[in-house]
Structure formats: structure tokens, C-alpha cells
Amino acid sequence: MDIHEQSQSTNSLPSKRGWKIWWELIRPHTLTASFVPVLLGTVLALLEGEINLFLFAAMLLASLFIQAATNLFNEYYDFVRGLDTKESVGIGGGIVRYGMTPKLIMNLALSMYFIALLLGIYICIMSSWWIAVVGLVCMAVGYLYTGGPIPISSTPFGELFSGLFMGFLIILITFFIQTGFVSQTAILTAIPIGVLVGLINLGNNLRDHDGDKANGRKTLPIVLGPKNAIIFLGIMYGFSYLWLIYIAASTSLTPWVLLACLSIPKAIQAVNGFIGKTTPISMMPAMKAAAQTNTFYGLLLAIGIFMGYVL
């Protein structure tokens, strides 16, 4: 089926179903991993002075496009390498379920990267061209996560790379384009968000453990073993919440940041949701809870920082 035929096939679907296919294709539950760091970086910049809303919007859109493109690269390469089938759980499924061509998926991903690149040029013009270097590295990591001869996603370092480049660094870039520098407070605040973004990926790898192992991957849950990976998940959640006490005591941020502790039930739900589960479908609620933990933690932390600013 070529792209023209695929287009006709997609158009023949009921509009609501067609919309849902395209929406699921970009895996919207993962997009908070981009939204939360940009929001936090901007709120932290507000503590230093006025912020540029156009820069905020450009950074947010660029991050969302890069995240969505990364998801599409993942779909493309998992199909090419034979990792995705109609029975696979939790994927967008544009290729294996809905007949979209791999070429179409790749073109969509590259188009999103191109839009992000244009937004990046605007950001550089308004701030610093050094941002281009960091931004291009982040885009390269997004591609190499599942692309290239040795995909990052097939190694034990997937969580580290996703947390560092899609969580930690996004906060610092967002802060820098608004202020022209990076503060110690911004760095310390970015650490737990980087951890939580990485834990979203850990949840995904826990779900895919059996399939990944059968395909020769060496993800963190495979290296540690599922039980130890779940223990590690719980430890890192604990670290993220204890870190709130540290930044409240050692930075200019106020105890309002402890509002993020209200997301603890979601973290507990994520950990408990993996315990004793052996099938991918049974782990889906835990994966959802892991993504929600990052969302609620980040939003509550942003609210807490803003409350400390206005009160």
C-alpha cells in the first residue's frame, strides 16, 4: 500500500476513529514529559524577573514536537526491527494496526523535527545561538533513542538519557532563554523532574520486559530483573519527594514547593501497580500512574513555586 492508497484508506475511516488514530499515534500520555519541564523552567525564570510569553510558547511547542517525533521514530524502528505486532500492548499502532506505511510515519516524524527546528531558530534569535547546540543534541538523542545501529532504548541507559535530555536539560534551557543564565536553584529543581521523566521510561520498559528480552535487548529491567527494577522505581520516587525538602531548605524556594507531595498517592499507585503483574496489559494502569505522577508532581511544584512568588 503506497502513501496515496494509505491516505484514501485513512480518509475512509469514520472521522472520530480517524482522529483517535492520529491522536494515539503521538502517544499523548507521554507529552507531559515535555510540557512539565517547560512550565517549571518558565515559572523559575519568573522569580528572576519578567518572562517572554512568546518564548514560552515557542519552547513549549518545540518540545512537544520533538517528543511527538521521538514517539514516531520509536514506532517506525520498532516495526522495522520486528518488535511491534498487532498483539503488542501500549503502542500507537499506526503501522501494525491501521495500515499506515512506515514511510508515512518517518515523514511525519521528520516534519515535526523540521517545525521544531524553525521554532528553535526563533528561540536562538531571541536568546542565544548556544541554544542551537544543546537543542540539536537533544534532537539527536530523540532520534538515536530508537534509531541508529545501537538504539539507546536497547541499553540500560534509556532512563538516564530520557530523564537528562527530556527532563533536566529542558528545564535549564527554558530557564536560560528567559534569563540569560542558569541558577543553582534551577539546577536543583530540575533534578527530580529528570528522575520522574526517566521513571516514565522505566515503567514502559517494565511492561515490555518479556518482549524486549526475547528480542535481545538489555534494558534496565532486564539487567536488574523485574523485582529489583520495581524496588529501584520505588527508591527513586522516594528520592524525588525527599529532594523537595532539600530544595525548600537550601534554596530561595519556599515550603510551598512541598505541595508536590500531594502527588505521592500516584507514585504509590505506580509502584504497587507493577508488583505481581506479569502481562503487559495488566501493567498498563501502573504505566499510566507513572506518567500521571510526573504530571501532578510537576504541576503542583510549579504552583508551589508561583505561590511562594506571589505571597
pLDDT at 2 over 90: no
The angle at the Cα of 205, spanning 200 to 209, to the nearest 5 degrees, equals 155
| Domain segments of the chain as ranges | 3-7+22-305
Mean pLDDT lowest among 7-21, 52-66, 186-200? 7-21
Predicted TM-score (pTM) of this structure:
0.87
As a whole number, the mean pLDDT across the chain is 87
pLDDT at 87 over 60: no
Q: Can you tell me the distance from the alpha carbon of 52 to that of 250, in angstroms, rounded to the nearest whole number?
A: 28
Residue 273 burial (CB < 10 Å; 0-12/13-18/19+)?
A: buried
**DSSP notation for 227-287:** HHHHHHHHHHHHHHHHHHHHHHHHSS--GGGGGGGGGHHHHHHHHHHHTT--SHHHHHHHH
Please give the pLDDT value at position 299: 95
Q: Tens digit of pLDDT for each residue in 107-164?
A: 989 999 999 999 999 999 999 999 999 999 999 999 999 888 889 989 999 999 999 9
Mean pLDDT of 39-66: 95
pLDDT at 9 over 50: no
Q: Tens digit of pLDDT for each residue in 11-49?
A: 433 344 566 666 666 667 667 778 899 999 999 999 999
| CATH number belonging to the domain at 3-7+22-305, selected among 3.10.170, 1.10.3470, 3.40.50, 1.10.600 | 1.10.600
Q: How many CB atoms lie within 10 A of CB 282?
A: 14
DSSP 148: S
Please give the pLDDT value at position 7: 40
Please give the pLDDT value at position 13: 37
